[in-house]
Amino acid sequence: MIIIMKNNATKEQVAHVVKKIKEAGLDVNVDQGSEHVVIGVKGDTRKIATDGFNAYEGVERSVKISKSYKLTSREFHPQDTVVDVDGVKIGDGSFVTMAGPCSIEGLAQIRETARMAKVGGAQILRGGAFKPRTSPYAFQGLEEEGLKYIRQAADELDMKVITEVMDESHIEMVAAYSDILQIGARNMQNYKLLQAVGKTGKPIGLKRGISGTIDEWLNAAEYIAVQDKSPVIFIERGIRTYEPMTRNTFDLSAVPLIKKLSHFPIIVDPSHGTGVWDLVAPMARAGVAAGADGMIVEIHPDPANAWSDGQQSLNEKTYLKMMQEVDILVDAMKKIKQIEA
Ligand code: PEP
Ligand code: MN
């Protein structure tokens, strides 16, 4: 349930409603919207009569949200949430690129990749130090050593860092080096991990599960949102279908759909979405056109010798070309958004 306060409601009226909700044994999340304060009621609201709250002073109306996710929903927060990654804004109408290798392989490699990423216009450096690999014999990541390297490479170029955290026991360590914590597709429904990263206050890049439905993905975000600390950035990375020619089936309709259902930003991952390097640029362009707030893309100075995901990584030339094309479309999208407004 959400309680929408009148736009002239006083602080005391808001506090009174909050008190009444707490007396009913429920918890709240107060959202200071640009026009109205919206009070989200957390917990089992089935036994609460919605109408009861309408009688309190300052309340405009209360609405039961029948969806299983609430704080993530547009109803709760009608305006777009802008995620501030230490100064880099995601969801403010701009298009933010996160680029880097699948795996951090060493200091020289991540430095060189960061240089390429920056030249193309990326503001955030990606790179895995904890790698979820299908085979237990495949390279599993440089762990803390890799985290040190990516932080150093990013700092040298004034970039931000996104990297994956796979395990609750590593959250503190990864958070010490990274600006965004990435939850990988394989962990989208690792609810304990979601709850724990949600307590860090760092933005969470939440990949869509390999077979995750939109509804499951939104509920996964809710596990983070309900902790009341960390904003979510959805990352569409394709889903498993019967089609073997691409690694995944890139679901671009997720972009406008998530935007309709949630206030959190969504970015696209055309690298894992296709798994084939020469399909990455067309799908990145399509991501811009679909209205994504940014993208995360795998690049490597020498894709043929990458330790993971070389087949879907762009080299400097193909990456820079893609970024030029993306820039053209970002400008075109600004005009389209003006028509829509
Ligand atoms: C990655 O970003 O390298 C990765 C492992 O992605 P996903 O979790 O989407 O498979
Ligand atoms: Mn990868």
pLDDT digits (tens, 9 = 90+) for 114-132: 999 999 999 999 999 999 9
Closest C-alpha residue for ligand 1 atom 3? 102
Structure confidence at residue 120 (pLDDT) = 98
Select from 102, 272, 274 the residue to mutate for testing ligand 1; criterion: most ligand atoms less than 8 Å from CB.
272
d(CA 183, CA 233): 10
CA 72 to chain centre: 12
Judge if the beta carbon of residue 207 lies within 6 A of ligand 1: yes
* In the predicted structure, residue 141 carries a pLDDT above the cut 90: yes
**Residue indicated by tokens 């609430």:** 70
User: Nearest bound ligand to CA 182?
Assistant: 1
- Are 5 and 60 contacting, i.e. CB atoms less than 8 angstroms apart? yes
Closest C-alpha residue for ligand 1 atom 9? 185
Burial class for 241, CB neighbours closer than 10 Å (0-12, 13-18, 19+): exposed
Query: Which residues have CB less than 5 Å away from ligand 2 (the ion)?
Result: 102, 309
pLDDT digits (tens, 9 = 90+) for 73-94: 999 999 999 999 999 999 999 9
Helices and strands, counts by H and E, the chain: 11, 14
* C-alpha 308 – ligand 2 centre gap (Å): 7
* In the predicted structure, residue 23 carries a pLDDT above the cut 80: yes
Q: Quote the pTM value.
A: 0.94
Domains of the chain with bracketed CATH: 2-63 (3.30.70.1140), 83-340 (3.20.20.70)
